[in-house]
Amino acid sequence: MIEALLPSPMLLLTFSGVANWSVGFFTTVAILGIAVLGLNIQWGYTGVLNFGVAAFLMVGAYATALLTLPPASDFQAYQLGLELPVWVGWIGGAVAGGLLAFIIGLPTLRLRRDFLAIATIGVAAILRTIANTAEGFVNRARGLNGIPRFLGDSFDSSDYKWVLLVTTVVALLLCYLLVQAVTASPWGRVLRAVRDNEDTAQAAGKATVPFRMQSFVLGGALMGFAGALWAHRVGTIAPDAFSDLFGTFFIWTMLIVGGSGNHMGAVAGSVVVGLFWFGTPLIQEDLPQALGSQVLVLRQFAIGLLVVLAVLLMPKGLFPEQARVSRFAPAPPPTGWRARLRIRRSEA
Partner 1 sequence: MLDLAQLVIVGLVVGAIIGLGAMGLTLSYGIMKFANFAHGDMMSLGMFLAYAAVTTFGTGALGPFSVGWAMIPALLLAMLGVGALAAGVDQVVYRPLRRRGSSTISMAIASLGIAIMVRALIQMEWGPSPVRYASGINRAWTLPGDLKIRPDQVLIIAAMLIVAVAVYLLLFKTRLGKAMRATSDNAALAEISGIDTERIRASTWVIAGGLIAVAGVMFGIQSQLKFDAGFEFLLPMFAAVILGGIGNPWGALVGGLIVGISQETSTYWIPTGYKTAVPFVLLTIMLVVRPRGLFGSTV
Binding site for partner 1 (CB under 8 A): 49, 107-108, 111-115, 117-119, 121-123, 125-126, 129-130, 132-133, 245, 249, 252, 256, 294, 297-298, 300-301, 303-308, 311-312, 315
Q: Which is nearer to partner 1, 282 or 295 (CB)?
A: 295
Q: Is 93 exposed, middle or buried (0-12, 13-18, 19+ CB in 10 A)?
A: buried
CB of 339 to partner 1, least distance (A): 21
Q: Which is nearer to partner 1, 57 or 229 (CB)?
A: 57
Q: Which is nearer to partner 1, 161 or 316 (CB)?
A: 316
Q: Which is nearer to partner 1, 187 or 301 (CB)?
A: 301
CB of 137 to partner 1, least distance (A): 11
CB of 283 to partner 1, least distance (A): 18
Q: Which is nearer to partner 1, 177 or 311 (CB)?
A: 311
CB of 196 to partner 1, least distance (A): 12
CB of 70 to partner 1, least distance (A): 27
